[in-house]
């Protein structure tokens, strides 16, 4: 089996396991199944159903192998809980699609399109480098406006000191002079906002709605996510680099199993505050997206059904009604 784009080896009890070695081929299977089902559905709905159900089962397996990566390597409670919940939800989605809930074809198509947006940045080196270094430069500019000017360096080490956990030698690491040792904050692909952007792009493109309103919704969501992500990067860089989040250090070091006290500010700023804020922001953006593009309620309703087992009518709740795709209305202007 070939090496993955990233490596995240976990060792326990003499057993070595790299979740990303297994998640990468599963990622391609899921992408092929979800996009393939959208194509097949044009000719044979029942065959498309079979392909999509297989894709949902593979999607559950994808999240299953990533649980150790998010919980043990990334030490992220939110991502760990999310990946754990995604396993049964994926299988549950496949089951209901198999049972005839055809609205899930839209969610299937949405996830496939999300992958189509995100995977190129994950797998194509020059594309990944371009977005990572661009976000790093913009973050550096915003930091300078605040009077914070760390060095922005490239390579996997600087002045002979290795940059821990840096996956690629891009010019994307902020170098702060720490108390006991230098502090490095590296912008990686997850820090660019492309993952969240892909979610909304996939959702918007998957529904039947006039293109004018789709493009308007894309412009709104992509720009807001991009700007908020830069704010997030600046917040983490200042909080970590200048050690401004040394809150309950002993408790945080115990919770996240870290030995370096300087890492307390990072885990409080990123893993607790920034990730929680990101969830709240995505929920708020979804609310405004539903107001702008009511057709996406089919996705939200299906997600709520999968989580709660209860049917919801968000269109009625929000007093909104979507227009047919081929009908022009004043709101489309």
On whether the CB atoms of residues 247 and 264 are closer than 8 A, the answer is yes
Sign of CA dihedral 273, 278, 281, 287: negative
**% pLDDT > 90, the chain:** 72
**Residue 147 phi/psi, 5° resolution?**
80, 15
pLDDT of residue 78: 86
Q: Give the tens place of pLDDT for each residue, 74-104.
A: 778 888 899 999 999 999 999 999 999 999 9
To which residue do tokens 């992958």 refer? 115
Q: Give the tens place of pLDDT for each residue, 231-261.
A: 999 999 999 999 999 999 999 999 888 888 9
Q: For the residues 55-68, what does the mean pLDDT come to? A: 92
At residue 13 the predicted structure's pLDDT band, cuts being 50, 70 and 90, is low
pLDDT of residue 332: 45
Kindly report the number of other CB atoms within 10 A of residue 91's CB atom: 17
What kind and span of H or E run contains 133?
A: helix 125-145
d(C-alpha 111, C-alpha 120), whole Å: 15
For the chain, first and last CA: distance in Å?
A: 52
What are the residue numbers of the active site? Answer: 191, 232
């Amino acid at each position: 089996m070939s090496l993955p784009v990233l490596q995240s080896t976990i060792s326990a009890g003499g057993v070595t396991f790299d979740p990303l070695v297994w998640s990468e081929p599963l990622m391609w299977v899921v992408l092929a199944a979800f996009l393939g089902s959208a194509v097949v559905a044009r000719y044979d709905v029942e065959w498309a159903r079979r392909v999509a159900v297989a894709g949902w089962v593979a999607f559950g397996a994808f999240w299953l192998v990533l649980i150790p990566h998010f919980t043990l390597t990334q030490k992220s409670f939110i991502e760990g809980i999310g990946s754990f919940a995604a396993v049964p939800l994926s299988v549950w989605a496949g089951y209901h699609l198999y049972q005839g809930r055809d609205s899930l074809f839209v969610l299937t198509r949405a996830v496939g399109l999300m992958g189509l947006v995100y995977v190129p940045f994950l797998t194509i080196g020059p594309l990944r480098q371009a977005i990572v270094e661009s976000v790093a430069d913009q973050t550096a500019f915003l930091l300078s406006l605040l009077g914070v000017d760390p060095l922005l360096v490239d390579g996997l080490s600087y002045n002979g000191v290795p940059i821990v956990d840096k996956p690629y030698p891009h010019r994307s690491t902020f170098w702060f002079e720490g108390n006991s040792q230098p502090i490095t904050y590296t912008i990686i692909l997850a820090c660019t906002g492309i993952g969240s952007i892909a979610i909304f792009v996939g959702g918007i493109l998957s529904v039947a709605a006039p293109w004018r309103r789709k493009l308007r919704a894309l412009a709104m969501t992509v720009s807001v996510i991009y700007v908020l992500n830069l704010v997030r990067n600046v917040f983490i860089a200042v909080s970590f680099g200048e050690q401004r989040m040394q809150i309950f250090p002993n408790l945080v070091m115990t919770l996240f199993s870290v030995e370096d006290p300087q890492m307390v500010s990072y885990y409080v700023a990123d893993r607790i505050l920034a990730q929680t804020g990101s969830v709240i922001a995505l929920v708020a953006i979804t609310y405004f997206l539903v107001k702008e593009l009511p057709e996406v309620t089919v996705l939200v309703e299906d997600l709520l059904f999968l989580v709660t087992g209860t049917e919801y009518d968000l269109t009625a709740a929000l007093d909104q009604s979507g227009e047919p795709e081929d009908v022009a209305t004043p709101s489309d202007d």
